Structure 1
Amino acid sequence: MKRTGGDVDEFVAAVKPAKRQRDAVAMIGLLREVTGREPEMWGTIVGFGACHYKYPTGNEGDMPVAAFSPRRESTTIYLLDAGSHPERMAQLGPHTTGASCLYIKDLALVDPEVLRGIVAEDYRRVVEATRARPRSR
Structure 2
Amino acid sequence: MSTEPSTSNTAALEYVAAVAHPVRRRDAQTLLELFGRITGESPVLWGPSIVGFGQYHYRYASGREGDAPAAGFSPRKAAMSIYLADGIGAHDDALARLGEFTSGVGCLYIKDLDKVDLAVLESIVRSSHATLTARK
Query: What is the TM-score of this pair, normalised by structure 1?
Result: 0.91
1:92 to 98, 108, 133: 98
RMSD between aligned residues: 1.1
Alignment of 1:33-72 (within 5 A): 33-43=37-47, 44-72=49-77
The aligned counterpart of 2:13 is 9
Distance 1:56 1:77 in 2: 25
Distance 1:51 1:117 in 2: 19
The aligned counterpart of 1:75 is 80
- List structure 1 segments (4+ residues) > 6 angstroms apart after TM superposition: none
Distance 1:13 1:88 in 2: 30
Q: Deviation per CA, 1:94-113, whole angstroms, max 9, x where unpaired?
A: 00110000110001110010
The aligned counterpart of 1:118 is 124
The structure whose Rg is larger is 1
Distance 2:17 2:119 in 1: 26
CA shift for structure 1 position 4: 3.5
Give SS of 2:97's match.
helix
Distance 1:124 1:18 in 2: 31
Indicate if the aligned counterparts of 2:75 and 2:81 stay in contact, CA closer than 8 A: yes
Distance 2:66 2:42 in 1: 21
Distance 1:51 1:9 in 2: 21
The amino acid across from 2:55 in the alignment is A
Give SS of 1:52's match.
strand
The amino acid across from 1:67 in the alignment is G
Query: What is the TM-score of this pair, normalised by structure 2?
Result: 0.91
Give SS of 2:52's match.
strand
Identity %: 43
Distance 1:2 1:9 in 2: 17
Give SS of 1:103's match.
strand
Task: Please state if 1:127 is matched with 2:133.
Answer: yes
